[in-house]
Amino acid sequence: MIITKVNASTPYNVYIGKGLIDSFDLSPYAGKEDAVRKAAIITDEIVSPLYLYRVIKLFKKNGFEVCSCSFEGGEEHKTLDTVGKLLSFLSMHQLTRTDVVVALGGGIVGDVVGFAASVYLRGLDFIQIPTTLLAAVDSSVGGKTGVNFEGLKNQVGCFHQPSAVICDVDTFSTLPPARFSEGISEVIKYGVISSPEIFTMLENRTPIEEIVAKCVSIKALFVEGDEYDKGERQMLNFGHTVGHAIEKLSHGTVSHGNAVAVGMVVMTASAACLGYCTDDFSLRLSALLKKYNLPVSTDYTAADIAEAVLHDKKRSSDKVTLVLPEKLGKCILVPYKVDELAGLLGKGLSSSAEKK
């Protein structure tokens, strides 16, 4: 097992290994001997039949009193209505501020359950148990929780750090290939913004637990330096400005990982057009994305994407912060005028299309 510590305002460990949902020692999180701690384990209807019983068994074995529920998965259920139902569930089972909420599932489960935990009784401890690669390397670490609102992604939420993240990489074995590839998209992101070694690890098929640990260690550094996403942590948004726009335009039919893959290609090409990218690694980036069956282009126009970016959370007044690579492993934050964005994206889309 690999353990990475995240030194946020609430420090916690990320545990990465095999077989953890059956054997992990939860005693450090079980509370005092004279008071049984309740664990509310919440998942979605996809993960429930795969892992819920085993996780319930693990918590009971470690002395917790357990209650559980599941909700419908998918972006369309990442809403305040779902959060309200979860709050009713927590209230019905009379959870107190000494109890813990457990998010078992992918990124949507972690975001929704984490948000519910953050607002119930003004904040309960919660534990993340990610079951997708994307959630393991990205959304389960860092404390961002929230839901979509009025068609806009993650528009309502807050920062609420978990008490622990328990990542059993064996759960990735039940992912459809396309879902696994979506996680690889986020892995590649870490390679571009911080560590060229990740490209080599992926190209050489390094064991997945080592890749997850590498990504988590990188994210931990960004979170520790900028927990509330006001500065350098925004580097983690590489590819996401365009990616979120594509998700919005597609009404959710293009998945997050696929949209981010396209966003990374477009931003790399755009950086080259602006003269920021001194090391042209776009062909290597595209080749690696294709190796994992990820897209490198889109049919949406630059004008459509720029219009969708108007609602991006990273927009400030008439500018949006773009994450642009200078070379593989190093990016910079560039404030860019929104009314000039369509022109830049047009060049990026044309340049990336030429290199397909």
Give yes or no: residues 125 and 183 share one domain: no
The 10s digit of each residue's pLDDT in 250-297 is: 988 999 999 999 999 999 999 998 999 877 788 889 999 999 999 999
Low-confidence ranges of the chain (pLDDT < 50): none
Give yes or no: residues 222 and 149 share one domain: no
**pTM for the structure as a whole:** 0.93
- The domain in which residue 143 lies consists of 2-174
Report pLDDT for 233. Answer: 94
Give yes or no: residues 159 and 188 share one domain: no
Give yes or no: residues 164 and 194 share one domain: no
Give yes or no: residues 141 and 192 share one domain: no
Give yes or no: residues 256 and 168 share one domain: no
Q: The domain spanning residue 146 has which CATH number?
A: 3.40.50.1970
Report pLDDT for 313. Answer: 59
Q: The domain spanning residue 283 has which CATH number?
A: 1.20.1090.10
Report pLDDT for 129. Answer: 98
Give yes or no: residues 302 and 273 share one domain: yes
Give yes or no: residues 71 and 130 share one domain: yes
The 3-state secondary structure of the chain reads: CEEEEECCCCCEEEEEECCHHHHCCCHHHCCCCCCCCEEEEEEECCCHHHHHHHHHHHHHHCCCEEEEEEECCCHHHCCHHHHHHHHHHHHHCCCCCCCEEEEEECHHHHHHHHHHHHHHHHCCEEEEEECCHHHHHHHCCCCEEEEEECCEEEEEEEECCCCEEEEEHHHHHHCCHHHHHHHHHHHHHHHHHCCCHHHHHHHCCCCHHHHHHHHHHHHHHHHHHCCCCCCHHHHHHCCHHHHHHHHHHCCCCCCHHHHHHHHHHHHHHHHHHHCCCCCCCHHHHHHHHHHCCCCCCCCCCHHHHHHHHCCCCCEECCEEEEEEEEECCEEEEEEEEHHHHHHHHHHHHHHHHHCC
Report pLDDT for 48. Answer: 97
Neighbouring residues of 187: CB distance < 8 A, sequence distance ≥ 6? 133, 137, 198, 202, 211, 215
Number of separate domains in the chain: 2
Give yes or no: residues 204 and 346 share one domain: yes
Using CB atoms within 10 A of its CB, is residue 354 exposed (0-12), middle (13-18) or buried (19+)? exposed
Give yes or no: residues 56 and 134 share one domain: yes
Give yes or no: residues 127 and 169 share one domain: yes
Give yes or no: residues 122 and 184 share one domain: no
Please say which residue of 158, 174, 190 terminates a domain.
174
Cβ pair 77, 103 in contact under 8 A = no
